[in-house]
Structure 1
Amino acid sequence: MHPTLIKNARIVNEGTITQGDVLINNGIIVEIGSISAKTGDTKIIDADDHYLIPGMIDDQVHFREPGLTHKATIETESRAAVAGGITTFIEMPNTVPQATTIELLEEKFARAKETSWANYSFMFGGTNDNLAEILKVDPKKVAGLKLFLGSSTGNMLVDDPQTIEEIFSKTNLLISVHCEDEETIRKNMKAALDKYGEDIPIAEHPNIRSAEACYLSSSKAIELAKKTGARLHVFHLSTEKETHLFSNKIPLSEKKITAEVCIHHLWFTDADYAEKGTRIKWNPAVKTQKDKDGLWKALLDDRIDVIATDHAPHTNDEKNNVYTKAPSGGPLVQHALEALFEMHHKGKISVEKIVQKTAHNPAVLFQIEKRGYIKEGYKADLVLIDPNAPWTVTKENIDYKCGWSPFEGTTFKSRITHTFINGVLAYENGKFPNRTRGERITFNR
């Protein structure tokens, strides 16, 4: 592999933006500063004063493989992620079959090694009856344990209180949870069905999967984590009320209880259901403007630690069903960073904060080795972004296998121009010049 020199970049790292160059060799950042090419075979890329940031580490995606590959595959969605400046992803266990045994988990790792464009890890899935398997998981090689404490498919809903406490007490894995109280949701759904029948208006979604359902489940999980000393990470907060369960009093590296927010909960509100319909049907639901404002406040004051996508594609035909039959979830990895930069243009968030929440903090939170920063000796997972290159999301430039996006018709002011995976240029101005092979990430635990 020839060395690559990125010249004239605005390097964003650890809360600062500095003008400079970055030299990459053998997949590693070897020098940062004012640099001349060391050898005649060095490839030089002129950044033209664009932002150079560490690639986004997306801690929650659903790439649908195995078993649901009519929606997406590890190959198609990792490629779309690379186009979106996501260089590392952590994928969820609710595939078919579910990754609830070591053997099935390793089969997913083997498939990613063959096909993934980006770097990868996978969550192991907990159930009501697989504690013995959970205790076999090596925390240095696996991102963590995923528990569905609400809203799951198959047998992955973990709803036995004794089992949940036993898992929290015995595992040393990072536990990531989906929190929505099923009893509350079932009660709300029955009331909606009684009132509307099968064709429930989509605007009822945040009333069915209510703020109360989220808070009840999240608060119980946090109470249990405090009781047992478990390391807890709460996925996709969607309510203002939940944000008060989390603290910004200590550094992230010392926190035992952390939180994530997703792009869609920062961008959309319940006012958008009228236009977007089931395309913005997610679990947990997109809720009110007050909730969105509260999520932003908690993100910026560091009660919420990371931003993710919860990328979860479905086909157009599946989404274009009545409410009760339309699945929840949507594709987001290709447009997440550019959506965040759009929020930057609107004065909502600084570029430095975007990098903190999408790269630095996921690396710290999951204790990922040698990624998430622009530092000498670190893996060269890098992204160049032109902040002044407007473009519009259309069906023709969507890379998801499902072929649609909730951002269709949206014009972003910023554009990702280059993405490097382990020092290899994977994406450049709408093209994929090199077929990269992502690496299985490791953890310093």
Structure 2
Amino acid sequence: MASSLVLDRTQSALAVPTVHRLANGLTIIAQQMAFEAVNLNLWLRVGSVVEPDSINGMAHFLEHMIFKGTPELACGEFERLIEARGALTNAATSQDYTHFYLTTAPQDFAALAPLQLQLVLNPRLTDDDFERERPVILEEIRRAYDNPHRRTFYHAMELAFDRLPYRRPVLGPVQVVETLTAQQMREFHRRWYQSEQMTAVVVGHLPVEQLIDTVVQGFEAAQSCRQSWSPHADTESRLNLTREHPFTTIQRRHHCDRTLQQAQLVMSWRVPGMADLMETHALDVLASVLGRGRLARLVRDLREERGWVSSVSASNLTYGQQGAFTLFAQLPVEHLERVEAIIVDHIRHLQNQPITIDELARVCTQVSNGYVFGSETPSDRAGLYGYYHTLTGTIDHALDYPARIQALSPAEIQAAAQQYLDPDAYGLVVMQPEAG
């Protein structure tokens, strides 16, 4: 048996989708939208976080291999059919999820969506395809490490997390990917690409019933081709991740990078993630107060007025089990100490003095409107629903986010700064150009 429900969110800035749950654990989220396209987003609750160190990079490698065809669909045939109808397809892997997406004209959706489902659920994953794709993956890893901003980010995450797998790059290290086998990938796929781990989101210019029926029929056809699967005893244990304690001191890491022209500085604090979602909203606002837009405090002070940095920004990275609040600056080496001190002063000020009603209103409008503006197309909307359902088990938060942001008070913003942004305890990564 399957069940359907329509969520009642009359105060939401977004329209209300239908959530359809199948007895096998698959959740389908569907919404008709007056936009001449249909987007299918397939989300799986599997990313690099579930990988032991010995196969780090497998989830991303598998994402590539999904497109190598099925026993019934030759390699390259899916792309040929997609291009012939002017459709688009792609995929992405993160720490907490993998998702595959397809955008078609409404009249082509019934023909192409089942092919996307076949690829995801029943890829052929042959040894030959695996070995041909491995050099592509290794080159992607090398390109990532050739990017100085990526290198800085990797160092920052290694410091931000002591134990949690968020400290590792999603792509995995070269020395591990070089040793992976096709058989390991087949086992990984059978273990994690299961209906109970999957959310299918479909949004576009077709009736909801038709959208759901197309996905159900395509899913059932793809499932009928799959091999039987028995869960391993440790399937869930790797997801039993415990949140790390905040920094108790300032932990500094300095690195030299010959490719840099200026220094890069990253300050980080361990903060709540999606597992404690209600705690993250005030931190989203604090990121905007400090470092998003020309009127943000650090941008105005350090870049516009003092001229000590060429860029400065803030991010609240919200992973599944825990997050990292980060402040990034690019600047001349001689300004490193004073810029760090000024940032600390701004944090102390936020802790000691509530922001004004006017500033809060401006920032909350910026945050909530940006959220709504990023949800205007079927692809945007499907990605939003899939992300929240995959990480929280519900789309309530996707619908309520703008209202929750707008409801925050100056006291709540101040309390979040006091609780999570300790000016005397944080991680600091500095990347400096090599001298001479």
TM-score for both structures, normalised by structure 1: 0.22
Q: Which has the higher helix share?
A: 2
Query: Which protein is bigger by CA-based radius of gyration?
Result: 2
